[in-house]
Amino acid sequence: MGVYPRRTGGILFLNGNIVEIWDYLRDTQQYAIIQTVTSVISLLASIAIIWIINRSYEKLSSTTNRLLLGLCVADILSSLAQSFSTLPAPDIQGLIWNASGSIASCRTQGFFIFVGSVAAPLYNCSMCLYFLSVVKYNKKDAYIKSKIEPFLHAGPIALSLIGAITILAKNAFHPNMTYCFIGSDPTCEGFECDATKRDAKVLFIIFSAAPYIILPCVIATTMIFMYRAVLAQEKKNSKYGVGALKANLRAHANAGCDHGQEENTPKKLNLLVRLEKWFLAFNENKATVSRIKKSKPVSRTILRKALSYSIAFFLTYLFPMIISIRTLRVFGH
């Protein structure tokens, strides 16, 4: 979690607390196995979504599917790297369970975990911005494809790669309890390592903690804007759409009555036929008005989808948020 235990005999000093070495190794093993299982599940789910996209009618012709593909690829990168758990980490005084890697393999794992774990929530934001441009600003698909979509892909890819390359250049990918990520060098001790620890803390705040604070706010804001836009359109339709339909019904009814009064000719059969057609049309339009009144407002549907999408995002990244908070506390010691 950004801090590494100091070993003295059969005990560990972790965050200022004394921990038995076997308890620490047991916890590391349990966390590593859980991480591997959940990572494999996430990996299979992303592959399934890509398969569904490929089997769909639209395939990659729609902006939504292309953004969803980018999100799945990002999740595959991070999930695949995390599925190896502690295996790529170098063995440090026997403190990491199943550590069989090297410094190079640890940096590789940290690089791909960072790229995927940052690009995935950024692609979530890209999808929200896409729906916002459609719902609120009424942008057409052709305009979005040529003017907006390139930035929706460039943002997640560029920011994740820039962050990963910067951290790699600063030599800040190191093993922690279950996988390699941003942290200080566990083999470095003494005052000369203070600068390295400060750099790792700054990099973690900028590239790991900050996105998990800013991105949920962006998603929630776009959802609010979409809901307000749909609500305003719904009020406009209720004022003019249904009212206009009722006015047309009254106009047709008056026209039918006037026509019935004026049509006092021997052609009564034609009059009855016309009145019967008008009566059927009147009942059909009346049923349409009734359905409009009884149907649930579109804004409520949008609100439910917005809330469910935001809650799903929050639950998905709840544990990374908790880990970020705990790591920041650890850096503070």
Residue 265: pLDDT band by 50, 70, 90 thresholds?
very low
With a cut of 80, say whether residue 264 has pLDDT above it. no
- The region of weakest confidence among 2-11, 76-85, 208-217 is 2-11
Q: Provide φ and ψ at 16, rounded to 5°.
A: 85, 0
State the virtual CA torsion across 148, 209, 114, 120 in degrees, nearest 10: -40
Residue 277: pLDDT band by 50, 70, 90 thresholds?
low
Nearest residue to 109 via CA among 89, 126, 123: 89
Segment 191-212 shows an average pLDDT of: 82
Per-residue pLDDT tens over the stretch 132-161: 888 888 888 889 999 999 999 999 999 999
CA–CA distance, 202 with 277 (Å, rounded to integer): 76
Residue 262: per-residue pLDDT: 47
Residue 38: pLDDT band by 50, 70, 90 thresholds?
confident
Per-residue pLDDT tens over the stretch 160-193: 999 999 999 999 998 887 889 988 877 777 666 7
Q: What is the DSSP string of 187-253?
A: T--SGGGHHHHHHHHHHHIIIIIHHHHHHHHHHHHHHHHHHHHHHHHHHHHHHHHHHHHHHHHHHHH
For CA atoms 95, 98, 103, 109, the dihedral sign is: negative
Pairing state between β 11-14 and 6-8: antiparallel
Residue 240: per-residue pLDDT: 59
Segment 123-129 shows an average pLDDT of: 89
Residue 320: per-residue pLDDT: 61
CA–CA distance, 204 with 199 (Å, rounded to integer): 8
Fold of 6-215: Rhopdopsin 7-helix transmembrane proteins (1.20.1070)
With a cut of 70, say whether residue 126 has pLDDT above it. yes
In terms of pLDDT, which residue wins out, 150 or 272?
150
With a cut of 50, say whether residue 116 has pLDDT above it. yes
Residue 2: pLDDT band by 50, 70, 90 thresholds?
very low
With a cut of 90, say whether residue 5 has pLDDT above it. no
Residue 6 · residue 19 · CB < 8 Å: no
With a cut of 90, say whether residue 58 has pLDDT above it. no
Strand residues in the chain grouped as ranges (E): 6-8, 11-14, 17-20, 173-175, 180-182
Place of tokens 């790529």: 88
Residue 304: pLDDT band by 50, 70, 90 thresholds?
low
Annotated domain spans of the chain: 6-215
CA–CA distance, 59 with 55 (Å, rounded to integer): 7
Work out the mean pLDDT of the chain and round it to a whole number: 77
With a cut of 80, say whether residue 218 has pLDDT above it. yes
Nearest residue to 13 via CA among 69, 83, 95: 95
Per-residue pLDDT tens over the stretch 62-113: 898 999 899 999 999 999 999 999 999 998 777 788 889 999 999 999 999 9
CA–CA distance, 182 with 278 (Å, rounded to integer): 74
Q: Which two tokens stand for residue 32?
A: 């590593």
Residue 95: per-residue pLDDT: 77
CA–CA distance, 182 with 204 (Å, rounded to integer): 6
The enclosing H or E element of 40 equals helix 21-55
CA–CA distance, 215 with 320 (Å, rounded to integer): 13
CB-based contacts of 286: which residues, under 8 Å, 6+ apart? Answer: 249
Residue 214: per-residue pLDDT: 87
Segment 192-197 shows an average pLDDT of: 75
Segment 184-211 shows an average pLDDT of: 80
